Amino acid sequence: MVPVERRRRIARLVEANGSVTVAALEEEFGISPMTARRDLVALEREGRVQRTHGGAVLSGFAAHEDSFQRRLGEQVAAKGRLARAAAGLAEPGETIFIDSSTSAYYAAKRILEEGLRVTLLTNSVPVMELFTASRATNVELVGMGGSLRRLTLSFVGPHTVRTVGAHFADKVFFSVKGLMDSGYLSDPDPLEAEVKRAMIEQSQEPVLLADGTKFEQRGLSLITHVREVAYVLAADAPEDRMVALAEGGAEVRSV
């Protein structure tokens, strides 16, 4: 295959999946790592991809990530509605993963306030702090330890992923940096994305909490596709994007 055609196909792969790795290109096209990197350099010069360590993502993806404290004060009303809807999905006796997002934090806070009889499994230090200060005797909590990210106040890394993988849950309440038109979910940090992905895989009914800003952004790291999600709870979301998410296979609810 001539380089021009191969690069065209690589660009289509990135457009379809949101990202690609050098290892995947080696396997797909039978080329060396050096050739794969040269192709990605050429595509980056054309503005079609943005190179990362070990691969590339679509141009325009955001690597920027705000701190947990800053995000906690944004879209508060929308996150409150999402939290109320999420708590309404929780059934007595269920086990629920809570990720490190502020939207999931608000959901956990609502669950504790209502005293629902559930078990929460989380890598979020603020959620753990909520639990220690709560008088909700019906709620149990399992902490997922690992390497602490100060920016997000969450545990990440191989130990966290292994701990998540050692548990099964009825649901996971999670959020993302952004949702692509193609249905892919993304996050700024690959370690956070890895933990979210593990929680989704270990949950019977993954529940995505999305305020309107999530439809305007894209993260650097791919998490999964919306078809792996059971419910999308959306606040202030564009109607056309709601329809697209439903067509992707999830049950979409506006809150």
| 16: in domain | yes
Taking the C-alpha atoms of residue 186 and residue 189, their distance in angstroms, rounded to an integer, is 9
| 244: in domain | yes
User: 206 and 83 in one domain?
Assistant: yes
Predicted confidence (pLDDT) at residue 62 exceeds the cutoff of 70: no
pLDDT given for residue 45 in this prediction = 87
User: 142 and 94 in one domain?
Assistant: yes
Domain limit, last residue, from 40, 58, 76: 58
User: 158 and 93 in one domain?
Assistant: yes
User: 243 and 218 in one domain?
Assistant: yes
| 206: in domain | yes
Could you give the number of structural domains in the chain? 2
* Per-residue model confidence as pLDDT tens digits over 27-59: 999 999 999 999 999 998 888 887 877 788 776
Q: E-strand spans in 41-94?
A: 49-52, 55-58
| 214: in domain | yes
- Buried b / exposed e across 171-193, counting CB within 10 Å, b at 16+? bbbbbbbbbbeebbbbbbbbbbb
* Per-residue model confidence as pLDDT tens digits over 85-105: 999 999 999 999 999 999 999
User: 205 and 116 in one domain?
Assistant: yes
User: 222 and 117 in one domain?
Assistant: yes
User: 226 and 195 in one domain?
Assistant: yes
CB 126 within 8 A of CB 101: no
pLDDT given for residue 66 in this prediction = 77
Print the domain residue range for 165: 68-254
Average of per-residue pLDDT values in the chain: 90
User: 94 and 142 in one domain?
Assistant: yes
User: 207 and 84 in one domain?
Assistant: yes
Q: What is the mean pLDDT of residues 201-230?
A: 91
User: 209 and 124 in one domain?
Assistant: yes
**Exposed, middle or buried: residue 45 (CB in 10 Å: 0-12, 13-18, 19+)?**
exposed
| 123: in domain | yes
pLDDT given for residue 70 in this prediction = 85
* Per-residue model confidence as pLDDT tens digits over 124-174: 999 999 999 999 999 999 999 999 998 899 999 999 999 999 999 999 999
Tokens of 102: 């502020």
User: 108 and 38 in one domain?
Assistant: no
- Listed in sequence order, the residues at least 6 apart from 184 whose beta carbon sits closer than 8 Å to its beta carbon are 17, 18, 222, 223, 224, 225, 226
CATH label of the domain that carries residue 246: 3.40.50.10470
What does DSSP assign to residue 227?
G
Taking the C-alpha atoms of residue 100 and residue 154, their distance in angstroms, rounded to an integer, is 6
CATH label of the domain that carries residue 11: 1.10.10.10
- Pairing label, strands 119-122, 140-143: parallel
Q: E-strand spans in the chain?
A: 19-21, 49-52, 55-58, 95-98, 119-122, 140-143, 147-149, 154-156, 169-174, 178-179, 184-187, 203-211, 221-225, 231-235, 251-254
User: 24 and 135 in one domain?
Assistant: no
pLDDT band with cut points at 50, 70 and 90 for residue 18: low
- Is the pTM here over 0.95, yes or no? no
Tokens of 37: 């990197």
| 63: in domain | no
